[in-house]
Amino acid sequence: MREFAADWETLKSTDPEVAGAIASELERERTTLRLIASENYASPAVLAALASTMNNKYAEGYPGKRYYGGCEFVDVTESLAIERAERLFGAEHANVQPHAGAQANMAAYGAFLEPKNQEQKVLGMVLAHGGHLTHGSPVNFSGKWFTFVGYEVDKDTEVIDMDRVRDLSLEHRPKMILAGFTAYPRVIDFAAFRTIADEVGAIFMVDAAHFIGLVAGGAYPSPVPHADVVTFTTHKTLRGPRGAMILCRDQHAKAIDKAVFPMMQGGPLEHCIAAKAVCLKEAMQPDFADYAHRTVRTARALADGLAEEGLRLVSGGTDSHLALVDLQPIGMTGADAEKSCERVGIALNKNAIPFDPLPPATASGIRLGTPGPATLGMDEPEMKEVAHIIGEVLREPDEEAVGDRARARVRDLMKRFPAYP
Ligand SMILES: Cc1ncc(COP(=O)(O)O)c(C=O)c1O
């Protein structure tokens, strides 16, 4: 009998169309430079756990307290994930079951807030200034069911203005204050947020989806000592399977666990949870700290290189894994820049910038991140080269010779730093 059930050859013969698309995706990942700030390369060990028979198991409840029999082995992996998350981040309690970041945020709001209660406000960063859809956007459950008040970055510095956050908190007396971002290049002053939350008696929540892997590797400040609750996805800088987790203080553990199950979710995805345990073990190794620091170092090198190419960086640079470029001075939209880069094998995304006059589908900016290149081992010299390629492509997007040269340089770079060799 085999000890591992998933089988690639069987998939190829059972469903060649799906197998073909999966093989093409691997080839795309090997030949495209991944600068999408929210993406990464999960390790072969993480991918193996995802393809395991733990996919087959129903395990509603928590380790030791399940609504199904036969949970002795998924209890092992879920307990490992919980213990490792608590140890790695110094947290009092971890829930590793959220299927995704949106569900983790939904559970965190559900633990502390009543829906459609206008007295219970949440202060969060507005989407166009770096917040996430689930931080109160009117098209998302967060904005439809909960009462959000948005804070913005300062118009001149383009960083979060803590005096403004405090003024809004004193004015609105929110039940919850939320920090965290999807497109903000700087560090967040978690201690200052905590002080404001204490002043108005608010719960302090951090959505650390983007930067949690940097926290694990010691390359970004940890929100855990300051926040009541921290949510994050496991597939971005943390480099694990798609999914999410919630960390919280002991006093909130029961409310968080009940909000995840049975309030928001049914059966946990135990194969994903096994993969989360693996990625946490990887994140405890010394080479993960090297990767986290390389990620920030390369983001800085990329930002500096783009500035040398004459592009304007929102807030003037970065302290994290991502940079935001304002394309207004060169008269290009984010959507066009995204397409021009895609044509030469560079994947990045159009992004709204603070006070953006364009709608999000066009946008005046692009967001670039380095978790992917840092995982492949690229460092500052490669990012300088990439900045130069992007600079040329954006200056002459319609010049065929420029495109051809850029495409060849990207291919060469990906050969030197292969994905899944
Ligand atoms: C800050 C933040 N929170 C939540 C999410 C949502 O995560 P998911 O796509 O897993 O639902 C994202 C995803 O981009 C994010 O950037």
Tens digit of each residue's pLDDT (9 = 90 or more) over 188-203: 999 999 999 999 999 9
Kindly state whether residue 39 falls inside one of the protein's structural domains: no
Same domain, 377 and 331: yes
Q: Which atom of ligand 1 is nearest to the CA of 103?
A: 11
Q: What CATH code is carried by the domain that includes residue 277? A: 3.40.640.10
Per the annotation, the verdict on 405 as an active-site residue is: no
Last residue of a domain, one of 283, 299, 331: 283
Under the banding of pLDDT at 50, 70 and 90, the label for residue 30 is very high
Last residue of a domain, one of 231, 258, 283: 283
Same domain, 151 and 199: yes
> Are 207 and 178 within 8 A, CB to CB?
yes
Kindly state whether residue 412 falls inside one of the protein's structural domains: yes
Same domain, 357 and 296: yes
CA distance 212 to 308: 29
Domains contained in the chain, number: 2
Give the residue whose CA is nearest to atom 5 of ligand 1: 101
CA distance 237 to 40: 7
**How are beta strands 147-151 and 61-62 bridged, if at all?**
unpaired
Same domain, 238 and 339: no
**Structure confidence by residue, pLDDT tens digits, 219-236:** 999 999 999 999 999 999
Per the annotation, the verdict on 72 as an active-site residue is: no
Give the residue whose CA is nearest to atom 7 of ligand 1: 101
Under the banding of pLDDT at 50, 70 and 90, the label for residue 128 is confident
Structure tokens given for 46: 């993480």
Kindly state whether residue 43 falls inside one of the protein's structural domains: no
Structure tokens given for 249: 């203080």
Structure tokens given for 342: 């895609």
Same domain, 61 and 175: yes
CA of 119 to the centre of ligand 1 (A): 26
Which residues have C-beta atoms less than 6 Å from ligand 1?
A: 38, 100-102, 105, 132, 134, 180-182, 207, 209-210, 233, 244
Same domain, 140 and 164: yes
CA of 207 to the centre of ligand 1 (A): 9
Same domain, 107 and 251: yes
Does pLDDT of 255 surpass 90?
yes
Residue % of the chain over a pLDDT of 90: 100
**Catalytic entry in 166, 242, 281, 411:** 242
Per the annotation, the verdict on 207 as an active-site residue is: yes
Same domain, 249 and 369: no
Same domain, 327 and 370: yes
Kindly state whether residue 261 falls inside one of the protein's structural domains: yes
Q: What is the sign, positive or negative, of the torsion defined by CA atoms of 329, 331, 333, 334?
A: negative
pLDDT of residue 322: 98
pLDDT of residue 278: 99
**Structure confidence by residue, pLDDT tens digits, 314-323:** 999 999 999 9
CA distance 177 to 202: 6
CA of 85 to the centre of ligand 1 (A): 19
Name the nearest CA neighbour of 262 among 110, 140, 134, 71: 110
Name the nearest CA neighbour of 151 among 170, 131, 137: 131
Tell me what the pLDDT averaged over the chain comes to: 98
Kindly state whether residue 367 falls inside one of the protein's structural domains: yes
**Catalytic entry in 34, 175, 186, 236:** 236
Same domain, 239 and 328: no
**Structure confidence by residue, pLDDT tens digits, 368-401:** 999 999 999 999 999 999 999 999 999 999 999 9
Same domain, 175 and 216: yes
Per the annotation, the verdict on 233 as an active-site residue is: yes
> Are 237 and 212 within 8 A, CB to CB?
yes
Average pLDDT in the 257-269 region?
98
Does the pTM surpass 0.85? The reply is yes
Average pLDDT in the 171-193 region?
98
Q: Which atom of ligand 1 is nearest to the CA of 208?
A: 1
Kindly state whether residue 15 falls inside one of the protein's structural domains: no
**Structure confidence by residue, pLDDT tens digits, 73-119:** 999 999 999 999 999 999 999 999 999 999 999 999 999 999 999 99
Same domain, 193 and 74: yes
3-state secondary structure the chain: CCCCCCCHHHHHHHCHHHHHHHHHHHHHHHHCEECCCCCCCCCHHHHHHHCCHHHHCCCCEECCEECCCCCHHHHHHHHHHHHHHHHHHCCCEEECCCCCHHHHHHHHHHHHCCCCCCCCEEEEECHHHCCCHHHCCCCCHHHHHCEEEEECECCCCCCECHHHHHHHHHHHCCCEEEEECCCCCCCCCHHHHHHHHHHHCCEEEEECCCCHHHHHCCCCCCCCCCCCEEEEECCCCCCCCCCEEEEECHHHHHHHHHHHHHHHCCCCCHHHHHHHHHHHHHHCCHHHHHHHHHHHHHHHHHHHHHHHCCCEEHHHCCCCCEEEEECHHHCCCHHHHHHHHHHCCEECEEECCCCCCCCCCCCCEEEEECHHHHHHCCCHHHHHHHHHHHHHHHHCCCCHHHHHHHHHHHHHHHHHCCCCC
Residue % of the chain over a pLDDT of 70: 100
What's the domain range around 314? 291-416
Kindly state whether residue 387 falls inside one of the protein's structural domains: yes
Under the banding of pLDDT at 50, 70 and 90, the label for residue 414 is very high
Residues 6+ apart with CB under 8 A from 128: 352, 353, 354, 355, 356, 360
Per the annotation, the verdict on 236 as an active-site residue is: yes
Give the residue whose CA is nearest to atom 6 of ligand 1: 101
Does pLDDT of 10 surpass 90?
yes
Does pLDDT of 298 surpass 90?
yes
Last residue of a domain, one of 283, 310, 345: 283
